[in-house]
Amino acid sequence: MNTPSNQGFIPPHGNYRKLLSYQKAEVVYDLNFRFCQRFLAKGDRTVGQMVQAARSGKQNIVEGCQAAGTSKETEIKLINVARASLEELLEDYRDFLRARGLGIWDKDSREARFVRGLGRGSHVTYETYRTYVETRPAEVVANIAICLIHQTNYLLDRQIRRLEQDFLREGGLRERMTRARLRARRQ
């Protein structure tokens, strides 16, 4: 993002709600919360771990986007933490299905393609998936979660690559500060 000379050296940042990666992470959080309520025992330690992993996936996107104004390094690290947290949650869902002898959908299955199709669009919310999450058996809901986590992780991977390219093109805060100071001296 190039900063015009009439702006400061801190670029616009924090607009995380418009990011599809955030929207999907929010859906994953909401779906996961309901999954844990419906299908896992209240005292099960896995519940807390799964809820925290989903929360971390969402909240680190928020924190990373807010930190972006002054630290690309922190933004990249936090987006990667979000990605890692969702990978942990993905493994919890795989474990849930495997331990119970339930099937994991192939990524090209009719069901997985259907779930991917639901999430197409520029704005995604839990409401899109509510009927399926709240009425289907554990095997189906876990597989929906797996599909959504894969989609979110794909978006986060792309976001991290874009952030890397942005840093290479624009530099970090110190470089922007130096450029802004030199511009101010020339004027």
* Chain centre to alpha carbon of residue 2: 25
Least Cα distance to 122 among 20, 29, 4 occurs for 20
Q: Is the pLDDT of residue 163 over 50?
A: yes
State the chain's mean pLDDT as an integer.
90
Question: What would the two tokens of residue 67 be?
Answer: 């930190």
Give the pTM. 0.86
Q: Note the pLDDT of residue 3.
A: 39
Burial of 140 (0-12, 13-18, 19+ CB in 10 A): middle
Question: What would the two tokens of residue 11 be?
Answer: 């670029």
16 three-state secondary structure: helix
- Phi/psi at 48 (5° precision): -60, -40
Sign of the CA dihedral running 129, 130, 135, 139: positive
Query: Helices in the chain by DSSP H: which ranges?
Result: 20-39, 45-67, 72-99, 110-118, 130-135, 138-170, 173-186
Q: What percent of the chain has pLDDT over 70?
A: 89
Question: Distance (Å, rounded) from C-alpha 64 to C-alpha 183?
Answer: 28
Q: Note the pLDDT of residue 1.
A: 41
How many of the other CB atoms lie within 10 Å of CB of 170?
15
Q: Note the pLDDT of residue 115.
A: 96
Q: Give tens-digit pLDDT for 82-132.
A: 999 999 999 999 999 999 999 999 999 999 999 999 988 778 899 999 999
Question: What single letter denotes the amino acid at residue 60?
Answer: N
Q: Give tens-digit pLDDT for 49-77.
A: 999 999 999 999 999 999 887 788 899 99
Q: Note the pLDDT of residue 130.
A: 96
Q: Is the pLDDT of residue 177 over 70?
A: no
The answer to whether the beta carbons of residues 86 and 123 sit under 8 Å apart is no
The answer to whether the beta carbons of residues 122 and 20 sit under 8 Å apart is yes
Q: What is the DSSP letter of 11?
A: -
Q: Is the pLDDT of residue 18 over 60?
A: yes
Q: Note the pLDDT of residue 187.
A: 84
Residue ranges of domains in the chain: 16-120+127-176
Cα angle vertex 181, ends 183, 177, to 5°?
Answer: 120
Q: Note the pLDDT of residue 73.
A: 86
